[in-house]
């Protein structure tokens, strides 16, 4: 990878960096921009809106001085417990911290912190590519400070720790998750010694909160190629420490010469496929979990071979448990993932059978506005390397899409509610809430979905009266 440092001074020639440099000079302390901004500029990944600054002194004082120097005095948010401060200025979110050195206890990732030098601060950074700093000081403004040869690691696309990786990961186990996440985001390799240390230190991840783990999982899922991160987590057995349901997908069984595909690596391919077409995090989660019920339902049946009957339903039931365990949101986002997982094989079933109007109506009724995302997943689920077979599958799904459009245009069933509600039924037949009302509602719904009754109030009302008559009810 071509990395040029010739114009690095230009990276910090913007007003925001000049302003920080002036504030540091006013206080008589050195200041540096560090971390992600430096890395991403060198990689030409654009300019991040979050900027991190280190000073050999008080980060809070530097933030206050910067704010005081502005014509309208920008607001400073102080986090005393962490010794940091934030300022929103020039369209950026600026964070300031004093250079420090850290030491850790065995049972905690909360360090004992002391004031330190820039070198101390760079020593505590997670990876060499994140330990780069650019001086904002008048004597050497724009100079790159790279004590761990991070530039070479950027050129060679390598993730490695500045110090002994066993110490780095033991001190802060979340860095193991960050390593695989950066590998996925940047399409970098993890240095062999660093990768081995993840495997050796994986059990330390247990002291990290599930919220922090899930935050890294989400960032990995949002990478251009998420499979890189998940494959690394599996290979190092880091994934085994908190996501055994996904691990259970791996492996191939054979009976009488019949084998099934490896559902773990198939799932990673599906996630990569869908990531080419959507940045929807929760649709990517649905792709990750779409086969999660297969290990539970896997059976070998003569003469059919391997079956996973009902794995979509079982998988959808597993979604809330997984979300709860990983501290993911238990709201409409979880329900959305659950719906996509539950319906993930329905369009395939439509292809294998006759694509009837009634089957499409039921799919539209159950999927609602999620129908388009469901079809995206179906496309992504085609992982065969046989070009002719892939072409045939995609053509079949286009047939289903056209049928969905036809039925929807005619019957308007997306997010459909039956034209007759329970209150109308109770008033018509002088009923109280109970099983009879439910039975009539179900009869109306099924008749409309089967195409026996048109999806409008008048036709549904006449059908309701007939159902009530058969049940021995008298209309008012």
The full 3-state SS of 101-144, as one line of letters, equals EEECCCCCCCCEEEECCHHHHHHCCCCHHHCCEEECCHHHCCCE
Task: Judge whether 326 lies within some domain.
Answer: no
Task: Judge whether 222 lies within some domain.
Answer: no
Task: Quote the pLDDT of residue 188.
Answer: 97
- In angstroms, what CA-CA distances link 260 with 21, 295, 305? 62, 12, 9
Task: Quote the pLDDT of residue 110.
Answer: 61
Task: Judge whether 17 lies within some domain.
Answer: yes
Q: Could you tell me the two tokens for 386?
A: 């046989």
Task: Judge whether 272 lies within some domain.
Answer: no
| Distance (Å, whole) CA 240 – CA 247 | 6
- Going by the DSSP 8-state scheme, the letter that residue 1 receives in this structure is -
- Last residue of a domain, which of 106, 127, 156? 156
CATH number of the domain at 81, please: 3.30.460.10
| Distance (Å, whole) CA 180 – CA 175 | 9
Whether residue 190 is preceded by a cis peptide bond, meaning omega within 30 degrees of 0, is no
- Last residue of a domain, which of 124, 139, 156? 156
Task: Quote the pLDDT of residue 3.
Answer: 72
Domain that holds residue 440: 422-470
Task: Quote the pLDDT of residue 84.
Answer: 92
Q: Could you tell me the two tokens for 51?
A: 């900027």
What is this structure's pTM?
A: 0.83
Q: Supply angle C-alpha 410, 412, 417, rounded to 5.
A: 145
Q: Could you tell me the two tokens for 123?
A: 């020593």
Task: Quote the pLDDT of residue 272.
Answer: 97
Strands 305-307 and 299-301 come out as antiparallel
Task: Quote the pLDDT of residue 2.
Answer: 65
Q: Determine the 3-state secondary structure of 157 from DSSP.
A: coil
Q: Determine the 3-state secondary structure of 190 from DSSP.
A: strand
Task: Quote the pLDDT of residue 66.
Answer: 95
| Distance (Å, whole) CA 69 – CA 73 | 7
Task: Quote the pLDDT of residue 72.
Answer: 83
Task: Judge whether 141 lies within some domain.
Answer: yes
| Distance (Å, whole) CA 298 – CA 381 | 19
Q: Determine the 3-state secondary structure of 34 from DSSP.
A: strand
User: How many domains is the chain partitioned into structurally?
Assistant: 2
Task: Judge whether 93 lies within some domain.
Answer: yes
Task: Judge whether 86 lies within some domain.
Answer: yes
- Last residue of a domain, which of 135, 156, 177? 156
- Going by the DSSP 8-state scheme, the letter that residue 332 receives in this structure is H
Q: What is the pLDDT along the chain (476 residues), one digit of tens a residue?
A: 667 677 788 888 899 999 999 999 999 999 999 999 999 989 888 778 899 999 999 999 999 999 999 988 789 999 988 889 999 998 899 999 999 876 555 555 565 666 778 888 888 899 999 999 999 999 999 999 999 999 999 999 999 999 999 999 998 999 999 999 999 999 999 999 999 999 999 999 999 999 999 999 999 999 999 999 999 999 999 999 999 999 999 987 766 666 667 899 999 999 999 999 999 999 999 999 999 999 999 887 777 777 788 899 999 999 999 999 999 999 999 999 999 999 998 887 777 656 777 888 888 888 888 999 999 999 999 988 888 888 888 888 888 888 888 877 766 656 567 788 889 999 999 889 998 989 998 888 888 887 888 888 898 899 889 889 899 888 88
Task: Judge whether 333 lies within some domain.
Answer: no
Per DSSP, the residues of 205-257 read: GGGS-HHHHHHHHHHHHTSSSTHHHHHHHHHTTSGGGT-HHHHTT----EETT
Per DSSP, the residues of 407-426 read: HHHHH--TT---SS-HHHHH
């Amino acid at each position: 990878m071509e990395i040029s440092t010739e114009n690095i001074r230009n990276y910090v020639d913007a007003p925001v960096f000049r302003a920080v440099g002036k504030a540091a000079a006013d206080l008589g302390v050195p200041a540096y921009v560090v971390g992600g901004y430096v890395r991403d500029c060198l990689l030409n990944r654009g300019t991040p809106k979050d900027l991190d600054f280190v000073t050999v002194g008080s980060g809070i004082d530097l933030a206050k001085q910067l704010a005081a120097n502005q014509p309208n005095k920008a607001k400073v948010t102080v986090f005393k417990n962490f010794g940091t401060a934030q300022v929103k200025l020039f369209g950026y979110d600026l964070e300031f911290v004093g250079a420090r050195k850290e030491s850790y206890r065995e049972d905690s990732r909360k360090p004992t912190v002391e004031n330190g030098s820039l070198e101390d601060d760079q020593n505590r950074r997670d990876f060499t590519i994140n330990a780069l700093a650019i001086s904002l000081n008048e004597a050497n403004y724009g100079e790159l400070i790279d004590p761990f040869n991070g530039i070479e690691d950027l050129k060679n696309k390598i993730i490695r720790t500045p110090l002994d990786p066993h110490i780095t990961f033991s001190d802060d186990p979340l860095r193991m998750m960050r390593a695989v996440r950066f590998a996925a985001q940047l399409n970098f390799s993890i240095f062999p010694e660093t990768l081995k240390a993840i495997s050796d230190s994986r059990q330390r991840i247990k002291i990290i909160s599930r919220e922090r783990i899930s935050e890294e999982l989400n960032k990995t899922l949002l990478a251009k190629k998420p499979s890189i991160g998940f494959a690394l987590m599996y290979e190092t057995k880091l994934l085994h420490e908190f996501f055994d349901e996904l691990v259970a997908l791996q492996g191939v069984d054979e009976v009488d010469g019949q084998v099934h595909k490896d559902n773990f690596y198939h799932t990673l391919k599906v996630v990569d496929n869908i990531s080419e077409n959507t940045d929807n995090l929760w649709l990517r989660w649905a792709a990750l979990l779409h086969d999660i019920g297969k290990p539970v339902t896997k059976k070998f049946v003569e003469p059919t071979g391997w079956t996973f009957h009902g794995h979509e339903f079982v998988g959808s039931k597993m979604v809330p448990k997984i979300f709860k365990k990983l501290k993911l949101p238990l709201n409409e986002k979880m329900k959305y993932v659950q719906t996509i997982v539950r319906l993930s094989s329905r369009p395939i079933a439509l292809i294998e059978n006759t694509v009837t109007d009634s089957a499409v109506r039921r799919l539209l009724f159950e999927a609602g506005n999620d129908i388009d995302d469901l079809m995206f997943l179906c496309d992504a689920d085609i992982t065969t390397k046989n070009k002719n077979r892939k072409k045939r599958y995609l053509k079949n799904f286009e047939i289903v899409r056209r049928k969905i459009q036809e039925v929807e245009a005619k019957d308007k069933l997306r997010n459909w509610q039956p034209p007759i509600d329970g209150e109308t039924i109770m008033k018509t037949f002088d009923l109280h809430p109970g099983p009879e009302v439910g039975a009539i509602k179900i009869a109306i719904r099924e008749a409309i979905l089967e195409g026996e009754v048109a999806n409008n109030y008048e036709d549904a009302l006449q059908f309701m009266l007939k159902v009530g008559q058969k049940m021995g009810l008298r209309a008012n």
